Structure 1
Amino acid sequence: MSLNPAEYRDQWEGRVAFVTGAATGIGLGVAQAFADAGMRLALSYRNEDDRAATEAWFADKGHEKPLFIKLDVTDRDGFAKAAQQVVNHFGEVHVLVNNAGVSVFGPTDEASYDDFDWIMGVNFGGVVNGIVSFLPKIKASEGRRHVVNVSSMAAFLPGPQAGIYTASKFAVRGLTDSLRYNLAPHGIGCSLCCPALTRTNAWKSAQKRPDSFDESGFPDVPEGALEQFGTAFEEGMDPYEVGAKILRGMTQQDGLILTHPEHGLDFAEEYMKQVAALPVEACPPGRMKIEELRRKAMRDAEAGLVIDLDDLT
């Protein structure tokens, strides 16, 4: 299918989407691609200069002005108010993109509680807050609807300096893969997106650490070293391309949206490690039966059936 968002207007025009972290980076790329597909937008942001630049882009393109909502995604009350504000403004909401996150690295064995609480609170807790706040509104709406949780290639490929970040992205992956089965009976699509290196300022996340989480166990990173790390992001994919691929994946009802082609070798190696770790031995019939029931339940759930605990035994 095409990567031209305008070619999907017939399926998405007039649909209302809420995108978090949408004034920069991947969130902005998603918002721009959605706008080019004719969607109406509510966008969360933190920085006023970023908001102004985003508003200018929409005006220059002749798109409808988005509803801008200043939001800290860890603020549950703020998220609940945002969901109601979107419905009050547009009447309905059809699409949720949980994108906002922080990209912070350091040795996990030296991490403090504040390190864990901040990174997990934003990257996983922010997704949870979006789901709890917006899903009732999306379920009450009609027509084509979708939830996209933006994770990271780190959800599959851990690294030595990214333990907490990786944990947060693994958590988003697991949550989304399970949520998909719960939303299918409601006719709501659900996708996990795992981008890799993208041309963003995500490397600056460490400079935006809240005072309430200032007791870090990570060693200080010299400014020059952080800026050097940031040069890697200049080689990344254009955020608009990531947004267009997310739109295409939603249209195709893809459960998993992978945007970068360069990780085939990593996936192959990881798969072979998992297969090699399986014991070569017979499985008792009772255990085998339970696993067969689990596989059937997953197929049924994906087909839109509601699965109860009784279906698993």
Structure 2
Amino acid sequence: MGETTKRHEGRVAFITGGVSGLGFGIARALSNAGFRLALSYRNEDYRAQAEDWFREEKREIPLFVKLDVTDRARFAEVAEEIEAAFGRLHVLVNNAGVSVFGPTDTATHADYDWIMGVNFGGVANGLVALLPLLKRTGKGGHVVNVASMAAYLSGPQAGIYTASKFAVRGLTESLRYNLAPEGIGVSLLCPGLTRTNAWDSAFRRPDAFAHSGFEDIDPEALTEFGKAFDLGMDPLEVGEKTLKGIEENRGLIFSHPEYAEDFEEIYRTSLAALPDEEAPPERLEIERLRREANRASAAGQAISLADLT
């Protein structure tokens, strides 16, 4: 891993949360391929450590921009800073997120607002702020929205987190149709267990969202849970698989192979849930038109509501 090539020399990428964890793995993979980078951060120590890596590797120092991805006004400023620094943007990676767990039935509005605001709202804010520059840069651009395998797999301790990732999945799959006529690719990245510090998000809960319905944090239990992340995939490997997905314009990027059993169960359960009866011809025709419109959109044709009926 980590082989250096200049096949993307001169292209520009922006990665939110790009100075640590998965974001930094993606940043290193793109830098190894020749990309110039803008990276958002919140933690000064992580930013400094990332800068040290670029300096040690004798790479161009990225444009570091301090950003809370829920801050729409600041996101608009960041878009202007990136355009001023580079004049263009080829790849947008909406990566920043929080991993917070707790039983959904006890969650408060603060739990929903924080987790959904960062994990889904941060992606939406990135699209609103940066898509105009990506479009002005022209064909060949790409958007990667980072979700997780939680975009497909649910569990008893991850209800709001899972909802945020399901939302990112639906948004991304639809956006791919919208941007195909612009010549811009869109990918949903769903990593599995990765060797990062994502597990400690609960320690960094903002005061504005302090009124949680989840149980009080047990630092020892959460730290013990975090040890599982040490067994995860190297973030650089995930980053290199992400770059390959961008280059191949794949709509879906899976980095981990260990989920075949889950997808088989989802497939069987979904088919079994369909009523065993004939659908009327009129409804079948509507669904045929929908499928045709989707295929035409994926091929680069702009689709309107009139094409769906």
Question: If the TM-score is normalised by the length of the shorter chain, which range does it land in?
Answer: over 0.9
Q: Compared with structure 1, are the counterparts of its residues 189 and 222 closer, same or farther at alpha carbon in structure 2 (3 Å cutoff)?
A: same
What residue identity is the alignment partner of 1:116?
A: Y
Q: Equivalent of 1:141, from 131, 137, 141?
A: 137
1:295 is displaced (CA, Å) by: 0.2
**For the residues of structure 1 that align with 2:67 and 2:45, how far apart are their CA atoms?**
15
**For the residues of structure 2 that align with 1:34 and 1:80, how far apart are their CA atoms?**
24
**For the residues of structure 2 that align with 1:19 and 1:86, how far apart are their CA atoms?**
11
1:221 is displaced (CA, Å) by: 2.7
Q: Equivalent of 1:297, from 272, 279, 293?
A: 293
What residue identity is the alignment partner of 1:304?
A: G
Q: Equivalent of 1:220, from 216, 231, 236?
A: 216
Partner of 1:54: 50
What residue identity is the alignment partner of 2:148?
A: S
Q: Compared with structure 1, are the counterparts of its residues 4 and 286 closer, same or farther at alpha carbon in structure 2 (3 Å cutoff)?
A: farther
Structure 1: gaps of 5 or more residues: none
Q: RMSD of the alignment, in Å?
A: 1.0
**For the residues of structure 2 that align with 1:5 and 1:291, how far apart are their CA atoms?**
46
Aligned pair 1:87/2:101, yes or no?
no
**For the residues of structure 1 that align with 2:4 and 2:257, how far apart are their CA atoms?**
23
Partner of 2:277: 281
1:132 is displaced (CA, Å) by: 0.3
Partner of 1:63: 59
TM norm structure 1: 0.97
**For the residues of structure 1 that align with 2:32 and 2:3, how far apart are their CA atoms?**
6
**For the residues of structure 1 that align with 2:165 and 2:3, how far apart are their CA atoms?**
27
Q: Equivalent residue of 1:18, what SS?
A: strand
1:4 is displaced (CA, Å) by: 6.0
Q: Equivalent of 1:197, from 175, 190, 193?
A: 193
**For the residues of structure 1 that align with 2:97 and 2:198, how far apart are their CA atoms?**
9
Aligned pair 1:34/2:30, yes or no?
yes
Q: Within 5 Å, which residues of 2 pair with 1:1-313?
A: 6=4, 9-10=6-7, 12-313=8-309
**For the residues of structure 1 that align with 2:25 and 2:299, how far apart are their CA atoms?**
31
Residue-by-residue CA offset, 1:90-118 (whole Å, 9 max, x unaligned):
11111100000000000000000000000
After TM superposition, the runs of 4+ consecutive aligned structure 1 residues lying more than 3 A away are: 3-7
What residue identity is the alignment partner of 2:222?
A: L
1:142 is displaced (CA, Å) by: 3.0
TM norm structure 2: 0.98
What residue identity is the alignment partner of 1:302?
A: A
Q: Equivalent residue of 1:200, what SS?
A: coil
Residue-by-residue CA offset, 1:264-286 (whole Å, 9 max, x unaligned):
11111111100111111111000
On the 8 A contact 2:290/2:308 being kept in 1, the answer is yes
Q: Equivalent residue of 1:149, what SS?
A: strand
What residue identity is the alignment partner of 1:87?
A: E
Residue-by-residue CA offset, 1:165-190 (whole Å, 9 max, x unaligned):
00000000000000000000000010
**For the residues of structure 2 that align with 1:230 and 1:238, how far apart are their CA atoms?**
15
1:14 is displaced (CA, Å) by: 1.1
What percentage of residue pairs aligned between the two structures are identical? 61
